[in-house]
Every structure is written in structure tokens, then in C-alpha cells.
Amino acid sequence: MTIAISSLTKSFGPTHVLRGIDLGIEAGELVALLGPSGSGKTTLLKIIAGLDWPDAGALAVDGQDWLALPAQKRRIGFVFQSYALFPHMTVRDNIAFGLTVRPRAERPGKSVIAARVDQLLGLLQIPHLADRFPTQLSGGQRQRVALGRALAIEPSVLLLDEPFGALDAAIRRDLRRWLREVHEATKSTTIFVTHDQEEAFEMADRVVVMGEGRIEQIGTADQIHDHPASPFVARFMGAVVELPVALRAGRVEAAGLDASALERRAMADGPARLFLRPDAIALEPDAASPWVLSHKASNGAVIRATLRREDGTELPVDLLRHSAPEVTLGAAYRLRPLTGAVFSAEGAAQSGGPSPLPLLKEHRK
Amino acid sequence: MGRPLVHRSPMPGLGLSMGITLTMLSLVVLLPIGALLLKGASYGIEGIWETVNRERVWAALFLSFRLSLFAAVFNLIFGVLLAWVLVRYRFPGRRILDASVDLPFALPTAVAGIALTALYAPNGAFGSLAASIGWKIAYSQWGILLALVFVGLPFVTRTVQPVVEEIEREVEEASATLGATRLHTLRHVIAPMLAPAALTGFALALARAVGEYGSVIFIAGNIPLVTEIAPLLIVIQLEEFNYDAAAAIGIAMLLISFAMLLVINLIQVWSRRRIGYV
């Protein structure tokens, strides 16, 4: 099923939750909607599911207008963050629910339903839980039942809202790999919502980064990592070091900054802002630099260092303990960023607006 | 060493609280019922049967339990609906309506009976309307039903309300995404979740209606064989200093009530086992 979303907007009172969403999703694709809370990603998912309606815009699936269809007729599988299992039904009845509610004419026979449930229980690796009630299951097991219930109706689109949000880290890792396998096996078009970058990049074919009701960027993990399309994406991806710089002939310049590892970019001269990740900065001793090492602490693998300028500005730098050269407290260092993103000063000020894509060099050693 | 190992419960004060509870239960509930049964025993089973096996007593018992059942059924349906509306919808005056549900608890039942009678008597505000289409409410069995509905309503609403609050809206949404119609969601998802609480409320409303006296005697008209309820018959016997007969009717009511509540409890146990939760 291909999904085409265009110019979707939605407000709750004075709050604009979606400010014009355009998105196309191919059949069989696994797409992540990634963004901080309040970015509108769950609302978008609910609109696709038919559990919420937009103020304006269009939603078509295989050319059919889905905004004219109620949720019951869309044949989607929706996995809720809270799982929303039916507490008075066994695991088996929960999974069979979508099949048993069909009108008599379309309903498969009892034995067909039982066989389908058994097959799903196998796929979910929970055949031994078939006769338990939801309250007797752990979080991870509930998650599997919720997914099984959604898959039972052979959904045209599978939608998952923060599927692993309530689980602990180890189970989360297992389920991620397992969900990816289930997707390979079922090949259903899948969209999931998450605020966890690692989860989004590890599982999805494509990641849609959302912020404040807009799509900020669509791409693969590497594309978004290396070429963030806006200051918002750069910050969200962990580029928390923000430096005011001057652009001259396509190069960024600032006191104590050695930008020679960054590629020249086709931008007009003038003030700009440089966004850096703390782990993509190398330090080189330079007595003339205004940046002084004021603090360092090691967690075994990484040394977290803090550099301080005379005016009180501080910035964090993460150095690999075994490969980075030794640094000493109180010494002055020059920053040598390995990658970074540059946005013109105006673009950086308003986080949402469109910004030119900077031409960046790949990670250099 | 030397001290015997005592298996202690981690909950403190179990012995003390158990003792107080049992003492209170005995004083407040078991002792009066025991006294009633003792009185009956001195009267003898044949004496009880002779007292009860009269047309007027049977009519009163049948009337009391029949109308109590009708009132409880009405309260079951309307009370669940009211609980649903109070929890799920936001409308002006909701809090006032919510608070007023408890009024039948607080109002002296005689006041309620007099107020209902004033409204529904043939010359009252609603009574005259009903009379114009030939419907007599006060001083008929309709009046008794009305009073019993009034005093029993809060039980169902107040037991069901917290359960409605706990139902996640996502459970209904999940049902919808799986293709269930609204009616199907209501029947197969919502209703089973509300059933245990609704049944408890039903039992409470029923028990209350069976024992109700104050509000009913004002609106019933109290015509023997037609609108005379069993509790009134007991009071009449007492006023005639016929204590044995009063105890006999009391024991009859006790037995029937006990049987009904036992059946409701069994239904609850059965439904809990069947759906395995709550």
C-alpha cells in the first residue's frame, strides 16, 4: 500500500499541531516518525489510523481517499503505546478479536481463526501464553500480544505508537530486532513513532524527523547524521555545541577554531552559526586560543571535557580515552571539528524555517 | 536460641484489627439477626408458616420483592448510563449533577417520600399531567416503583463510575481499528468490563429497595393486597403488639433476601471465573 499525505494541518484550539505535512510512503516500507514530544508525530499517526481527523489536507492510500473512511473500514493494525489489550479476554481471544468481529459473510470459520491465531502465537514466540489474561503478562509479552492482535487482520498498514516506550533497555533491543524480522516476514507497510533516535535509525528504512508540526527532514540514518537540513535537526541529532562564526569565502572562521577539516560551502559571506557534536571535535594545544580546559572526567571509554572562555561560555567535548591525545587542565586548546553543520544566522535563529543544505565533508581521520 | 519461631505476618496489627472487626460485626449485624431468629424459634416453624401463609402477607412479600427487582433493573440500566455520561462527557452543570446523585443517600427517606407524593399525586405538578392521560402514579404501584428507583439510583452509579474512569479510551480505539462497530465494541468490550461493578451496584440497589420503608409508605396508599409493602405489614403487626407475627414476616424477608443476594454473588463468582479478572 502506498500512502500519500499532502498539506495536512491540524490545530487543537490555538495550538498548531500539524503545520502542513507532505509525505509519501512506498509499499512495504518501514518508516519511523522521529521527533521530540509535541512535534505532532503521534497526531499524524492517529490521523492515518482514522482515530483523529485533520483540519485540512489529503490522505490517500493506493489512490483511495482515506479521510472519507472510518477507522473500522481502513483495515489498519494499530499498536498503542499502552498496548490497550482487552483485559477480560485471554491472549488467544485478544488476537482473534479482529477476525471474530467481522460480519458473518466475511468471517472466517472457527477452525480457520484458531489456526491463524496459532500461527501468530508461533511468530510472536508466545504459544505458551495463549490462555493467560493480559494482567498475567509482562510488558514485553503484552507488546507481542498487541502486535499479534494488530497483525491478525492482515492489515494494509501497520502503525505503531512508541512501541517500545514502556520497556527496559535489554527487552527493547531484542524486540527491535524481532519486529524488524516480523516486518521482513509480513512485508506490510509499517510506520512507527518514536522519540529515540537509536531506535528509529536502527529499524527504519527511512526516518522522518518532525519538529513543531513540520517535517524537518526525511532520509536515512547517514544522511540525517551528516547533513542535517536545519538547526532543529542538528540540535536533535546531538549537535549541542553552537558557535557564532563568520563566513568568508565559504569557510567558517572564529577565534580558537581550526575549520580546515570542514569543507568550503556555497554560502554568502556574513555571520553564521556552527553546530557541532561534542564527540566530533578534536583538541589541539594552542596557547593563542581563548578556550581553556576547565574540567575533565572519564567514564572509562570517553573523557568528558569542558572548555571555558574568558566571558564564561562553556562547551562540552567528548574525547575517546584510548585514541585521543592526553589533555591537561588549565591549558589552552584550539577546536578542530571533524564534521559540523553551518546555518546562516537568520536561519539558525528561527529553528523551524528552511535552511540551505550545507556541503560537508565525510568524517576525516 | 530459646525463642520459638513464630510465623509473623508482615502486616502489622492483624490480630487487633481482626478482633475489633469481628466484635463490631457481631454487635451490629449478627446480634440483631440472631435475636430475630431466636424470637422466631420460640414461635416455632409452624407458627411462622401460619403467619406468613396468608393472602395479605403473600401479596405484600410478592409486591415488595417484585417492585424491588424492577426498580433495581431500572437503576442498573439508568445508573450505568448516568455513570458513563458523568465520566465521559463535559457539559455545563456536570459537577452539580454529579453531586446531586448522592442526594437520595443524604435525604431523610420520609422527606423524599413526601416530596415525591406532592409531585406525583393527582393534584401535583407531574401527577396532574399523568392523570390527564389516565395514568395514576402516586397511591398506585407506580408510585412505589418511583420511590424505590429514587432511593436505589446512587448505588449503581457510584459503583460503576470509578470503573468507567479506569477504562482507557485506547481500548475502544483498538476495537475500532480492528474493525468492530460501535455496537460490537459496546457489547463485547465495554459491557464485560463494567459487568462486575454493575452487578454489585444492582445487588446493593436491590437490597436497599427491599428494606425501604420511609419513602414508600407516603406514596403507596397502603391498600392491603394492592399497595401494601412487607415492611409496612411488619410495622402494623408491631403496632398491634403482635411481636411473633412481626418476627415471622421479618424472617421470611430475611430468607428471601439472603437467597437473592446469594444468587447474585454466585453469578459474580461465575462471571469472574469466566472472564478471569477484576
Minimal Cα–Cα distance from B174 to chain A, Å? 7
- A133·B276 Cβ contact <8 A: yes
pLDDT at A361: 38
Res. B228: pLDDT tops 90: no
Please give the DSSP secondary-structure letter assigned to residue B101: T
Whether B179 and A133 lie within 8 Å, measured CB to CB:
no
pLDDT at res. A4: 92
Give dist(CA A203, CA A329) in Å, integer. 41
Select from A88, A90, A151 the residue whose CB has the most chain B CBs within 10 Å, as the one to mutate to test that interface: A88
Query: How far, in Å, CA of B197 to CA of B169, rounded?
Result: 19
- Please indicate whether, in this complex, the C-beta atoms of B275 and A98 are within 8 angstroms of each other: no
Amino acid at B188: H
Chain B positions contacting chain A at CB under 8 Å are 168, 170-171, 173-181, 184, 188-189, 192-193, 275-278
Which of A51, A98, A150 lies nearest to residue B173, judging by beta carbons?
Answer: A51
Collect all residues of chain B within an 8 Å Cβ-Cβ radius of residue A76.
177
* B124 pLDDT tier (thresholds 50, 70, 90): confident
Domains of chain A: 3-223 (3.40.50.300), 235-349 (2.40.50.140)
Q: Which residue in the set A88, A102, A150 is minimally distant from B193, CB to CB?
A: A88
β-strand A56-61 against A206-211: which pairing, if any?
Answer: unpaired
Q: Chain A: give the shortest CA distance to residue B198, in Å.
A: 15
- pLDDT in single tens digits along all 365 residues of chain A: 789 998 999 998 888 889 989 999 999 999 999 998 888 999 999 999 999 999 999 999 988 899 998 888 888 999 998 899 998 899 999 999 999 988 888 888 889 999 999 998 988 888 999 999 998 998 889 988 999 999 898 888 999 998 887 777 788 888 888 888 888 888 889 999 998 888 888 889 899 999 888 999 999 888 888 888 888 898 888 888 888 888 888 888 888 888 888 877 777 788 888 898 888 888 888 888 889 999 888 888 888 989 988 888 888 888 888 887 888 888 899 999 888 888 887 654 444 333 333 333 333 33
| Sheet strand arrangement including A314-320 | A292-298, A302-308, A314-320
CB-based contact A88 B175, cutoff 8 Å: no
User: Chain A: which residues have CB within 8 Å of chain B?
Assistant: 49-51, 70-78, 80, 82, 84-90, 97-98, 101-102, 133, 135, 149-150, 153
Enumerate the residues of chain B whose CB falls inside 8 A of the CB of residue A73: 179
Region of residue B6 (left: phi > 0; alpha: psi -120 to 50; beta: else): beta
CB pair distance less than 8 Å for A51 and B193: no
Show residues of chain B in contact with A133, CB under 8 Å: 276-277
Inter-chain Cβ pairs, chain A and chain B, closer than 8 A? 73
- B171 contacts in chain A (CB < 8 Å): 84-87
Q: What is the reported pLDDT for B8?
A: 66
Q: Please tell me the predicted confidence (pLDDT) of residue B103.
A: 87
Using CA atoms, how far apart are residues B148 and B75, in angstroms rounded to an integer? 9
CATH number belonging to the domain at B41-275, selected among 3.40.640.10, 1.10.287.130, 2.40.128.50, 1.10.3720.10: 1.10.3720.10
Residue of A nearest to B273 (CA): A88
With CB atoms and an 8 Å threshold, state whether A84 touches B276. no
**Percentage of chain B with pLDDT > 90?**
31
Q: Where are the domains of chain B?
A: 41-275
The 10s digit of each residue's pLDDT in B181-218 is 889 999 889 988 898 899 999 999 999 999 888 888 88
Contacts of A162 in chain B (CB under 8 A): none
- The per-residue pLDDT for B5 is 67
Select from B176, B275, B278 the Cβ nearest to the Cβ of A71.
Answer: B176
Cβ-Cβ contacts under 8 Å, A74 against chain B: 177
pLDDT in tens, B236-252: 888 998 888 888 898 89
In chain B, the residue whose alpha carbon lies closest to the alpha carbon of A155 is B178
Smallest Cβ–Cβ distance between A88 and the set B168, B176, B275 belongs to B275
The pLDDT, as a whole number, for residue A353 is: 37
